Structure 1
């Protein structure tokens, strides 16, 4: 809160830089599917104080950081916030404003059949309410569910994550459950802390063309927005995907309920990676492939969300995964110039996060047996360098210094 005006951070007229700690949690294992906890794989649990210090020293005002629900509520209704208490206190001491990821994909192990458990919407809201109540005045900004589109795709369409549904009917079934959960989560947060702000984070892809004969580009250009449209109560019989949703299992009564009671965030976060947010399709292999979209793709992405929703926007994830520091620096410069151009146009763009701040390990690790380091991706402003003791040393690279210059502009 700006004490002089009463305005919140996203209303103060300034542009804010942030960083993020990758926090994907898929704890469920089965033959051929390893546990995926990025805090564990990147050794954040052991190095969280160092990681937060690096975030603060980068000049970032904001940090996206998530609570591992599956550990914090390891048994139904039994919460253990001892570790989160320490992290929250240190963020407060360092002056980092945390945008809390309450759900970054995974559910607790005790939740039967993951998202298909009929209790899920109420239980995720209960957990969110516990967090918002406990940390009122310390945590002020929340993301109810990170990237619902990706969540519904990997859990409901591809069958890669629990509950392992596939196809359009699986996607729609998961979509409706996730939206119901987000709606209840936001209500629980604001009931526990009326001053809290909500940052919804979307990750709708861009498409270079048709995704096979069954998914023409015109369909994909609407599909990318469907989760946010559902949450915001924008899906009625006139919506381009009404028939798709109802044909694949969405009940008209629930869609009408969503439309009658729209749920809007304070800030709409959009994730954009210049090297893979845009996707093409190879009809011979029947596989998608990344298309370089660069700065122009960022401008298109932000303008599309601005035109469609008219809300304050934040680029909640962006980075360029490469070992070439010059390429990361070039993307930071493209990001900064793009932000200036968009804000000059009148787009209410309030923040951008380099995500993740540390290198990470790709999700495909879950489905393989090769050593972890075979999946190392050089996303970070801070490199992860494994030593002979197996510890991952945090080594800031040249892009970290460049980020400091952007986030701390000289007067």
Structure 2
């Protein structure tokens, strides 16, 4: 197994998105899940489940309300709780959110992020006693699409995705270099999704191929393989973070998309996507996000872990896997409850409830990876994919049935009221 910057293979990631939606509302998932108030309990719970690594967020929009003045009070409780629990954290500096006096499409954004990154790296050294692990800009390629191409969230632009992507690459580079200059030994993670896009019809082939190629743009820019004028190079990042969810493969039909489910003959095994990514960059890799909602949580983890081990047998240096989010949370768009964590969000008797099937599977996988690390033969589990697909189909059928029943009951209520 590849050497890891974390004490163990498995990590827990706290959802820390902080973007402004297109309606102007600021999201703050750390506050929404009360992670800021329950930091000690949350990190103690991670350690109790054997998770000695984490992803968490330093909310820039709260830390730098006034230009070049940093208030560390929003992040210090998280940092100190993690240290108390013995959990090593990779900090997201800009997880879609930034101060209101800045705009990533305007001049000054990269310089501001660089100043903030340097100051934060010095804070980490003081508080944690070692150089930090930082992700300067989360999901450059996804953010450039969501915020620059379709106006889904800030900065709310349309048809400027390429421009925003270049700006975010420049900001990531400036921040990573500033943090390393301030604290030598700082490690930089570059995080983006791995996807596979297929055409629905022959006429969609070019559009689908362009979407598929776009997943590499952020990493290419950081390493100087694209936009050489931005100054990317071998120091662009140390560790490649890849995010992979159940819906990261889809077919494109015009402007619409449809998930290609596991079990579909066109669906590529995750191990192949991991091998492709490593072949491009030859960098250490961490699976920085993966999850699914509801009952398929444990089967999904089993599938992803089996695919990761298969990729590792083929020489892919994967050094960690992060359950993200580790705490279930409100949805970005409508505040609906998203049950996708190892821990449910509302505490009971001072503790967040644990999803028991996922916890059991996590313990099982931790034992398998430990055996794998020792060089023992850990057989492939080809049934993990079909088992997840079956759980997924059952869960989806149950969801549709529940929705239909709710709609029927609502109709009965409306009819009664009319009478």
> What's the TM-score bracket when you normalise by the shorter of the two chains?
0.7 to 0.9
Cα distance change, pair 405–209 in 1 and its aligned pair in 2 (3 A): same
Shift of residue 343, structure 1, vs aligned partner: 1.4
Distance in structure 2 (CA, Å) of the matches to 1:207 and 1:24: 25
> Unmatched 5+ residue regions in structure 1?
1-7, 236-254, 366-371
Identify if the C-alpha distance between structure 1 residues 199 and 29 changes in structure 2 by more than 3 Å, giving closer, same or farther: closer
Q: Is the 8 A contact 2:198 2:209 kept in 1?
A: no
Query: Counterpart in 2 of 1:379?
Result: 340
2:132 is aligned, of 135, 140, 155, to: 140
Instruction: Report Cα offsets for 1:358-379 as digits up to 9, x if no partner.
Output: 11222223xxxxxx3xx21111
Aligned partner of 1:368 in structure 2 is none
- Distance change >3 Å, CA 42–CA 118, structure 1 → 2: same
Q: Give, in whole Å, the separation in 1 of the partners of 2:256 and 2:88.
A: 40
Measured against aligned partners, the alpha-carbon deviations of 1:220-260 in whole angstroms (never above 9, x if no partner) come to: 3321211111111112xxxxxxxxxxxxxxxxxxx333367
Q: Secondary structure in 2 aligned to 1:208? A: strand
Q: Matches of 2:242 and 2:108 in 1, distance apart? A: 29
| Residue of 192, 216, 220 corresponding to 1:202 | 192
The alpha-carbon distance between structure 1 residues 62 and 49, as it changes in their structure 2 partners (threshold 3 A), is same
Cα distance change of structure 1 residues 144 and 293 upon mapping to structure 2, 3 Å threshold: farther
RMSD: 2.6
Q: Which of 284, 293, 306 is 1:321 aligned to?
A: 293
Counterpart CA distance in 2 for 1:376 and 1:106 is: 21
Q: Is 1:97 paired with 2:88?
A: yes
1:16 is aligned to 9
Are the equivalent residues in 2 in contact too, given 1:17–1:62 (CA < 8 A)? Answer: yes
Shift of 1:46: 1.9
Matched with 2:251 is 280
Structure ranking higher on relative contact order (CA contacts 8 Å, 6+ apart): 1
Normalising by structure 2, we get a TM-score of 0.79
Change in CA separation of 1:396 and 1:127 when aligned onto 2, cut-off 3 Å: same
Partner of 2:366: 407
Alignment of 1:159-308 (within 5 A): 159-167=151-159, 170-209=160-199, 213=204, 215-235=206-226, 255-258=227-230, 261-273=233-245, 275-283=246-254, 286-293=255-262, 296-308=268-280
The whole-number CA distance in structure 1 between the counterparts of 2:244 and 2:195 is: 8
Paired position in structure 1 for 2:115: 126
In structure 2, what is the Cα distance between the partners aligned to 1:126 and 1:175? 20
User: What CA distance in whole angstroms lies between the structure 2 residues aligned with 1:161 and 1:29?
Assistant: 4
> Which entry has the higher C-alpha Rg, 1 or 2?
2
| Match in the other structure for 2:61 | 70
Are positions 1:37 and 2:31 aligned together?
A: no
Instruction: State the partner residue of 1:352.
Output: 321
In the TM superposition, residue 313 of structure 1 has moved relative to its aligned partner by 0.9
Residues 53-79 of structure 1 show CA distances to partners (whole Å, capped at 9, x for unaligned) of: 111112112100011110111111111
Give the distance between the partners of 2:114 and 2:200, measured in 1 at CA: 37
Shift of 1:91: 1.2
Give the conservation status (yes or no) of the 8 Å contact 1:100–1:139: no
Residue pair 2:288, 2:324 contacting (<8 A) in 1 also: yes
Report if the CA contact (8 A) 1:92-1:138 is conserved.
no
Preserved contact between residue 15 and residue 351 of structure 1 (Cα < 8 Å): yes
Q: TM-score, normalised by structure 1?
A: 0.81
- Higher mean C-alpha deviation, range 37-46 or range 175-184: 37-46
Structure 1 counterpart of 2:308, from 336, 339, 347: 339
Moved over 6 A (4+): none
* 1:9 to 1:341, Cα distance in 2 relative to 1, 3 A: closer
Q: How many residues align?
A: 361
The equivalent residue for 2:402 is none
Aligned to 1:396: 354
User: 1:310/1:128 Cα in 2 relative to 1: closer, same or farther (>3 Å)?
Assistant: same
Provide closer, same or farther for how the CA distance between residues 207 and 15 of structure 1 changes in structure 2, counting only shifts above 3 A: farther
Instruction: Confirm or deny: 8 A CA contact 2:57 2:93 kept in the other structure.
Output: yes
- CA offset at residue 332 of structure 1? 2.0
* Partner deviation per Cα, 1:127-156 (whole Å, 9 max, x = no partner): 010000111135621111111111111110
